[in-house]
Amino acid sequence: MFDDDFRKIIIFTCIFGLLGLFIITYFFECAEVIVSDLLSGDIKESVYVVIGQIKSIEVKSNTLFFEFCDSSNCIKAVYFNPSTRIIEKLKTAMRDNLQIKVKARFEKYYGVSEIVIYKIYFEVNNLDYS
């Protein structure tokens, strides 16, 4: 049987644990890199802000796949559950060859380097894509 103190400890741990996790996730500041840095092999799997340009967009199974490139290298990028507005903005950015900034997790998927995008910043170089 469980006494009230034990229940209080459990609820306290749940609320403050989740709150703490939410706060550190929300205020997390990550390093800014370019695509070539990710592919250099010196960078560990983590979350980064990556700057680059888009090539070859494809939407499949509610997921957006595209090539994210700098002047010399490209990396596979994945964005889950994209809205139509985001897809249109990205297509505009690709068509005009404009630079964008993304917050993404760099990881290896089946041995291939890729970035899983959490957030896309369209305001790089103060350009308005809307």
Task: Give yes or no for residue 14 binding other proteins (CB under 8 A).
Answer: yes
Q: Which stretch binds other proteins (CB under 8 A): 35-43, 64-72, 93-101, 103-111?
A: 103-111
- Backbone dihedral angles phi then psi of residue 47, each to the nearest 5 degrees: -100, 135
Residue whose tokens read 């390093």? 31
**How far is the C-alpha of 58 from the C-alpha of 63, rounded, in Å?**
8
Per CB under 8 A, the list member of 59, 91, 118, 123 interacting with other proteins is: 118
Length of the chain: 130
**How far is the C-alpha of 33 from the C-alpha of 92, rounded, in Å?**
23
Contact (Cβ atoms closer than 8 angstroms) between residue 115 and residue 75: yes
Task: Give yes or no for residue 111 binding other proteins (CB under 8 A).
Answer: yes
Please count the other Cβ atoms lying within 10 Å of the Cβ belonging to residue 37: 17
Task: Give yes or no for residue 110 binding other proteins (CB under 8 A).
Answer: yes
80 or 121, CB closer to other proteins? 80
25 or 126, CB closer to other proteins? 25
> By the criterion CB under 8 A, which residues form the site for other proteins?
1-2, 6-7, 9-11, 13-14, 17-18, 21-22, 24-25, 28, 30, 45-47, 61-62, 80-81, 105, 109-111, 118
